[in-house]
Amino acid sequence: MAKDSILADLGAKGADGGAAHELTEAVRHYRINRAPVSLADHDPADTGPFSTRDRALARALLRAHTAWLTGRQRALAAQRQWAVLLVLQGRDAAGKDSLIRHVTSGMNPQGCDVTSFEVPNEEELRHDFLWRYHRHLPTQGKVGVFNRSHYEEVLVVRVHQEHLRSQHLHPSLIGPDVWDHRLRDIVAFEDYLTRNGTAIVKIFLNVSKEEQKERFLGRLRDPAKHFKFSPSDIRDREHWDAYTEAYEAALGATSTPHAPWYVVPADRKWYARLAVASILVHAIAELDLERPAPLLADPETLQAARAALEDA
């Protein structure tokens, strides 16, 4: 689907055409097209073409994008030839959970599966490192969202290498090149998925260290949010630079034409949600989904069925 057609569709759903166009141009720059990657080149506080005074406009745009996604999800389910996988990665308090709620708010839950990956259990540790993720991939006709993903195996496991030792690998398999091997395995895995009909959109929510601190403090000050806080959140802040290096290595090695990464600024949640919705809209539009023709297209057959029901 051409960009002009997408913008026209969004306009029909109430979006400001000029603002939607500016947003489309802005998110193009978040795509990682080459290595090496330096997160210092990506401003977590960026809000694209909008300022804080434009939040009402941004909310209206988000509604238009989610309405568009609702319609395309129906076509995706009807056609049953493609699956869509949205991969969300980000540091603690980057806003992954709330983003999922907002971006998928108009989707039919029967056709959208969200999987949050926690610490692997013993069964998962006894399999290859991609096994537990493969089990939760969306089937044809569905949208899948990974809240954290297979990239944890080259991020948290790389920073905290005691996790690697818990995966029951022979010592000969845990050498200095294990991370390069895993990154190549991930590229091959995603290439395999796209060749089998899964469109992959990968988002890194780029939150600043200062904004993360404020969000942690907000959780600690509000008893209703205490459940979101874990002591490990503070421990991981001590490894901020190590995580940065791990993310930069992963983003640079695994952003490919068939499964690109987008580094989305996440200090302003309202903008991050809109940016991800825009990226997802354009990725799904590339599938050029159309509703399949009815199986009973013969007018005489349809008329006979209708008459039989009306006369019953």
76-95 pLDDT tens trace: 999 999 999 999 999 999 99
Please report the pLDDT score of residue 304 as a whole number. Answer: 87
Question: CA 153 to CA 160: how far, in whole Å?
Answer: 10
**Which stretches of the chain score pLDDT less than 50?**
none
CATH number at residue 258: 3.40.50.300
Please report the pLDDT score of residue 4 as a whole number. Answer: 65
Tokens 């809109």 -> residue? 274
Please report the pLDDT score of residue 312 as a whole number. Answer: 74
Domain that holds residue 144: 3-311
Q: Domain count of the chain?
A: 1
Q: DSSP state, 91?
A: S
Cis peptide before 36 (omega within 30 of 0): yes
Half-sphere exposure of 15 (CA within 13 A, CB side): 27
Please report the pLDDT score of residue 1 as a whole number. Answer: 62
Nearest to 108 by CA among 155, 75, 62, 148: 75
Please report the pLDDT score of residue 6 as a whole number. Answer: 76
Please report the pLDDT score of residue 3 as a whole number. Answer: 63
Please report the pLDDT score of residue 10 as a whole number. Answer: 81
40-65 pLDDT tens trace: 999 999 999 999 899 999 999 999 99
Q: Which residues in the chain belong to E strands, given as ranges? A: 83-90, 112-116, 143-147, 198-206, 261-265
Please report the pLDDT score of residue 117 as a whole number. Answer: 96
